[in-house]
Chains A and B, each alone.
Chain A
Amino acid sequence: MLALTYRGPNRIRVEKKPAPKLEHPNDVILRVTRTAICGSDLHLLHGLIPDTRVGCVFGHEFAGVVEEVGPGVVSLTKGDRVVVPFNISCGTCFFCQRGLTGNCENTNPSANVASGVYGYSHTTGGYDGGQAEYVRVPFADVGPMKIPDDMTDEQVLFLSDILPTGYQAAEMGEIKPGETVVVFGCGPVGLFAQRSAWLMGAGRVIAVDPVAYRLDFARAYNNVETVGFEDATGGDVVSLLMKMTDGRGADVCIDAVGCEAEGSVAQSFLGVKAKLMAGSATAINWSIAACRKAGNVVLIGVYGPPFNAVDIGSAMNKGLTLRMNQANCKRYMPKLLDHIREGRIDAEGIITHRVPLEHAADAYELFEKKKDNCIKCVLVPPMAA
C-alpha cells in the first residue's frame, strides 16, 4: 500500500509499505478514504517528539471503510463507514471508565503520558498512522463512530481530533456567560476553540495569530476580534490584550498553538532550533500573562517531553487555574455531530486544500509554510472512491 513515511527531520516520502494485518481479536483494518494533516504532525516532522523512528507512518485524523474485521468485534462489519478518534482506548481501564479515553492505560507501553495515538511516534505506543491507504484500528468496538448515511466523510472527519480538541479547550476554560476569552492560534484547533467559546456563551472572543490570512479567516469564520503581531507596538501582544481588557486581562486564555509558537526569539531558538527544551513555550507564557488574576489558562496545543521554560511563578502568584489534556474525543463525538447537523459548526468549512495521498509531501510543505492561504489540508488516498 501507499503510505507517507518519516525519513528524518523535515524529510518525508510517500512509498510502498506492507499493508497492516489484524493483530488482536478486537482490531479492524480500515481502508482510509480521507485523512488530514494536523498541526501536531509538524512537530513530528521537525523532530521535536522523542522516539520518532525512520519509516513510521504519520496521521491521526482519518475516516474510512471497514475492510477486515477481527473475530472479537461486535459493533462493526465490513463496509461500515467510520470516523476514528486519534486516541486508542481500551474502554474499560480506570481512565476510560471515567471518560478520560485520552489517558487510557492499556494502549501505550512506552510512556505514562497519554494513551496510544495513531502515527505519533513510539512515545505514544508505536502505532502506524492513517496517512496511508490502510490502517490497523485496535479496540474497534470502542473508538470508531459510524458515519450517518446522510453525511459525507469530510463533514465528520474532524471529529477524529481537532473539533473535540477545540471544544474541550473551551470547556476546560469553564467559560461563564459573558466572559472574555482569548485564543492564541488561528489554526484549525484555534478556530474550533473560538467557535466553541461562542457556543458556551462567551461575551467576547479575541483571536491572536502572527499570520494575516489566518486572522482574516478567523474573522470571517467565527466573527471574532483579532490581534496580529503587527497590531501590537513592538510585537508586544500581551500589552495590547491587557489594554483591550481594561488592564485586567481575559477571563480565559487558551493556548491552541503548542510547541512551535512564534513571538519570542529566545524561546524559538532554545526550543525549536537548538532543541534544548521541548519547543517554544511562548503561547503558554503569553496565556499566563494575558489572563486575569484567578482566571483559567488552558493548554491544548501539543508539547513533547521533557521540559519547557514556563513562567510558572506568575501563574502561581496570579492564582490561575491551569487545565490541559489530550482531547477525550470519544466523549465529545455525539454532541459535536449534533452541532454539525444543526449547522452550528461547519467543520468541513475549514478545508482549503484536498491533495492526493501521492502528493502528501507537497501538502505538508503547503501547510507548514502557510502557502496559498492554507488552513487545513485533506489527503485523498487513491483507493478512496
Chain B
Amino acid sequence: MNSQVEKQMQIAPIPGAGVDGSQEARPGVPMEKETPEPAGNAHWLTPQRMPDPGWIQKRAGLEELTPVFGTTVPPRGLSGLMRRAAYRIPEHFTSHWLVLLAADRVDVLEDRLKTILPFVVPLAAAGVYFGVRAQRRTWWRALLA
C-alpha cells in the first residue's frame, strides 16, 4: 500500500474505507464468471415456456418468444398497428425506435380521445340536432312567408 493510501486510511473518510481494495473482494470481478454456474436457486436447464397469448411482439430475428415475458398492455388501435410495423424492423435500424416513439405519442392521443369521446360525442350530436332544428324552423318560416 503506498503512502497516499495509508494517509487516506488514517483519515478514514467513511467506515470501512479500503475494505474492498483488492480485486478478490469485489463480487463482479471478473465481469464474466470463469466457471459458469446457475444463478440463485434455478433448478432447470431450460426454463419452461409461458403460453403465448398471440399478441406479444418480439424483435425481428428472434425465432420464438422468450420463455417468460410481460403481459401488460396489449397493443391496440393505430398505435398498436404502428408498434407491429416497428417490431418488423430490426432494432439496429433507427427507424425501429423512431416508429416506436411515434406510436407512443399516438397512444397518448388515442387515450385522450377515448377519455373525452363519451363527453364530446353526445355534445356534438346535440349541437348538430339543435342546429338542424333551428335551421328547419328558419326554412319553414321562409317557405310560409
Contacts and interface: CB of A to CB of B under 8 A. Distances in A.
A134 B29 CA distance: 35
Contact of B97 (A50, A202, A203, A339): A50
A201 B31 CA distance: 19
Given A97-B36, A112-B91, A222-B13, A88 B104 contact: no
Contacts of A186: none
Interface string A320-349: 000000001011101100010011100000
Interface residues of B, number: 69
Contacts of A339: 16
A241 B97 CA distance: 36
Give the interface SS of chain B, mostly helix, strand, loop or mixed: loop
Nearest to B4: A178
A107 B66 contact: yes
B115 to A, nearest CB: 9
B118 interface: no
Nearest to B102: A50
A96 B59 contact: no
Contacts of A330: 39-40
B68 A116 contact: yes
Contacts of A195: 14
A109 B27 CA distance: 29
A305 B43 CA distance: 34
A92 B2 contact: no
A203 B5 contact: yes
B57 interface: yes
A307 B94 CA distance: 8
B17 to A, nearest CB: 5
Interface in B27-70: 27-29, 31-33, 36-48, 50, 56-59, 62, 65-70
Give the interface SS of chain A, mostly helix, strand, loop or mixed: loop
Among B15, B40, B105, max chain A CB count under 10 A is at B40
Nearest to B19: A199
A141 B32 CA distance: 22
Given A52-B104, A90-B67, A109-B62, A23 B16 contact: no
Nearest to B75: A53
Contacts of A205: 13
A89 interface: yes
A262 interface: no
B28 A23 contact: no
A354 interface: no
A101 interface: yes
A260 interface: no
A15 B83 CA distance: 25
B111 A7 contact: yes
A314 interface: no
Contact of A26 (B47, B62, B70, B83): B47
A91 interface: yes
A347 to B, nearest CB: 13
A139 interface: yes
A235 interface: no
Given A127-B72, A171-B28, A332-B27, A54 B111 contact: yes
Interface in B75-92: 75, 79, 83, 86-87, 91
Interface in A48-102: 50-57, 72, 74-75, 88-92, 96-101
Interface string A206-227: 0000000000000000111000
A120 to B, nearest CB: 10
A335 B25 CA distance: 9
A92 B26 CA distance: 22
Contacts of B46: 92
Given A55-B73, A109-B62, A109-B65, A201 B57 contact: no
Nearest to A200: B20
A249 interface: no
A263 interface: no
Contacts of B38: 91-92, 96-97
Interface in B5-26: 5, 8, 13-21, 26
Given A24-B68, A143-B40, 8 more contacts: A50-B97, A98-B33, A126-B69, A142-B39, A171-B27, A199-B14, A200-B20, A330-B40
Interface of B: 1-2, 4-5, 8, 13-21, 26-29, 31-33, 36-48, 50, 56-59, 62, 65-73, 75, 79, 83, 86-87, 91, 94, 96-98, 100-101, 103-105, 107-108, 110-112
17 contacts: A8-B111, A53-B79, A54-B108, A92-B47, A99-B28, A116-B70, A122-B57, A126-B56, A198-B13, A199-B17, A199-B20, A200-B20, A201-B5, A201-B17, A305-B97, A339-B16, A344-B19
